[in-house]
Structure 1
Amino acid sequence: MKPRSLMFTLFGDYVQYYGGEIWIGSLIKLMGEFGISESSVRGATLRMVQQELFQVRKMGLNSYYRLTDKGKRRIEDGVKKVYTITPHKWDGYWRILTYSMPEEKRELRNQVRKELVWTGFGMISNSTWVSPNPLERQTLEMIKTYQLEAYTMLFSASTVMSHSDSEVVKRGWDFEAIANEYVPFIQKYREKFAELQARIWDNSLTDRDCFIERTELVHEYRKFLFLDPLFPSELLPGDWTGNTARELFRSVHQIVSVGAVRYFESVIEQAPGHEVVGDREHAINPFVEM
């Protein structure tokens, strides 16, 4: 696991439910469970501060980290995608973003493309991106964050005159390739589900084991957020493997969640005078209906 990516997983899955702040010592211990060294953790947190994703609060010799508004936006969008139970119903509208940036803005243009893919847009022609998902808020926030008002236009339309909805989907996304990416995950976690059930029966599944299993599960599932746009059911292929993967993800998650949260609670230390009562219920079961 890369330190930065693991930090996003830990903040989205645990820290946000316990005051949103964590002592660097607790973070070092938690990330050490995945073979990440103390120096790597400290280096990654420094870079996150420099990139304005983390802010640090010093108390004596101790450092406590929390997400900035920019970091929170990434976490909130990611958590919502990971823990959505069922595909949402399509409202019939396409969201259409166009942009035109000068060549000296090439790096910014590449960053915007990454953000659009992460958000769930697909490119149907040069500098024209679409999505059937209700992404107006996230897109407008992205435009504001990167100061793109002079370079972008955001539309919505209920009718595409020249192409059918299915043809638009084919232009912007390769669902066959996405389905193939899900196959190894499904195979692995079908076996893992049976293994974890057996370990519950023989009492060999510790809280630490649960923390490692849940964190690795979420970490692996998160990669699909960069591939699968999480379309409404009306636009998905029949027998969509993404639905199978989501159901399996939820089943495995439910087995290990209670123990994982208990282990996290045993490690995290709050700043003196900043005691926080964690939202254990939502930490254990963060799933939401669309």
Structure 2
Amino acid sequence: MNEQRNPWFETTVQQLNDPQNQRVWSVIVSLFGDLAQQKGAQVSGGALTRIITPMGIKPEAIRVALHRLRKDGWIESARSGRASVHYLTEYGRSQSAAVSPRIYERRAATPGNWHLLIAQDGAGQATLDEVLLLSNYVAVNRTTALGHGPVPRSLDDLMAAEVSRIAVPGWLKARLFPEPLRDACAALQHDLARIPPPPAGLTPAQTGTLRTLIVHRWRRVVLRHPDLPPSFHPADWAGETCRDLVFQLLDQLPLPELSALDTPPE
């Protein structure tokens, strides 16, 4: 199949593509996190080009992005005969592994035990800021954080209180799920819902293109908000519907073998 002349593939790429927010280095991170996260997994330069250029990204932009990722310690590159191969560094693998559970979780976590941490205005703020770097905390306001799990025992400069019941006002829902995030999620839901089932005969590179686009769009939604029960969601939050659509499509686009990505299309 000619990779450049598949109407379903071309239409689907156009629907999933987001050229207004296209950071090529971030697309490559999504690609490696999905297709080649395991230790020893390598993607050739030719395979990268075949996967990414259908998104409207030029080979020159791919080279610049790879240079940035090497400089930032995410990617290593080497020669394999006359070709180049690229792979995640130990740092890159650890960063990808840290977020993979949230990206690929088919059901959002629903934490049940909660606590509040409150800092005196001015005092204890640095401690609270450090706590908010943890994935199980969200900011309520400048001096208050809500977390799930047991109450920490070593934060003497913060007030800590276990919470048995939570009423979530509209202003907090809007803060946790701001309008740009809700809009991005709704747009992804709309785009995914319009995609008919994939036809037979997609090449491995075409499958890689589609999986990269889906994961990249979903990653940019799911990593921008905490995992919270439905009682925290605004009425127009489409996150869980979007999650279902993401995995329905990914299940129909199984991971290609990396070696198959280097096989030219017939």
What range describes the TM-score normalised by the shorter chain of this pair? 0.5 to 0.7
How many Å separate the matches in 2 of 1:251 and 1:156? 44
Conserved? CA contact 2:136–2:147, under 8 Å: yes
Pick aligned residue for 2:58 from 12, 34, 37: 37
Give ranges in structure 2 of 5+ residues lacking alignment.
1-21
Q: Does 1:72 pair with 2:93? A: yes
Match in the other structure for 2:253: 256
How many Å separate the matches in 1 of 2:33 and 2:149? 22
Match in the other structure for 1:159: 162
Displacement after TM superposition at 1:244 (Å) = 0.8
How many Å separate the matches in 2 of 1:14 and 1:90? 30
Pick closer, same or farther for the CA change 1:265–1:171 going to 2, 3 Å. Answer: same
Match in the other structure for 2:260: 266
Pick closer, same or farther for the CA change 1:224–1:94 going to 2, 3 Å. Answer: farther
Aligned-partner residue type, residue 177 of structure 2? F
Pick aligned residue for 2:126 from 100, 105, 111: 100
Pick closer, same or farther for the CA change 1:229–1:18 going to 2, 3 Å. Answer: same
Structure 1 or 2: more helix by fraction: 1
Match in the other structure for 1:186: 189
Match in the other structure for 2:216: 219
Aligned residues: 232
Pick aligned residue for 1:5 from 8, 26, 43: 26
Pick closer, same or farther for the CA change 1:208–1:48 going to 2, 3 Å. Answer: closer
How many Å separate the matches in 2 of 1:249 and 1:133? 29
Pick closer, same or farther for the CA change 1:60–1:173 going to 2, 3 Å. Answer: same
Identity %: 18
Match runs of 1:1-290 below 5 Å: 1-17=22-38, 19-57=40-78, 63-94=84-115, 100=126, 116=133, 119=135, 121-126=137-142, 129-132=145-148, 159=162, 164=166, 166=168, 170=172, 173-175=175-177, 177=179, 178-192=181-195, 195-196=196-197, 200=199, 203=200, 205=202, 207-233=204-230, 235-236=232-233, 241-257=238-254, 261=256, 264-268=258-262
* Farther off after superposition, 65-74 or 233-242: 233-242
Aligned-partner residue type, residue 47 of structure 2? S
Conserved? CA contact 1:89–1:234, under 8 Å: no
Q: TM-score, normalised to structure 2's length?
A: 0.66
How many Å separate the matches in 2 of 1:165 and 1:72? 39
* SS, match of residue 166 in structure 1: coil
Conserved? CA contact 1:94–1:156, under 8 Å: no
How many Å separate the matches in 1 of 2:125 and 2:83? 45
Give ranges in structure 1 of 5+ residues lacking alignment.
102-108, 137-151, 270-290
Aligned-partner residue type, residue 222 of structure 2? L
Displacement after TM superposition at 1:224 (Å) = 0.4
* SS, match of residue 65 in structure 1: strand
Aligned-partner residue type, residue 126 of structure 1? R
Report the RMSD for the aligned CA atoms in angstroms.
Answer: 4.3
Displacement after TM superposition at 1:234 (Å) = 5.8
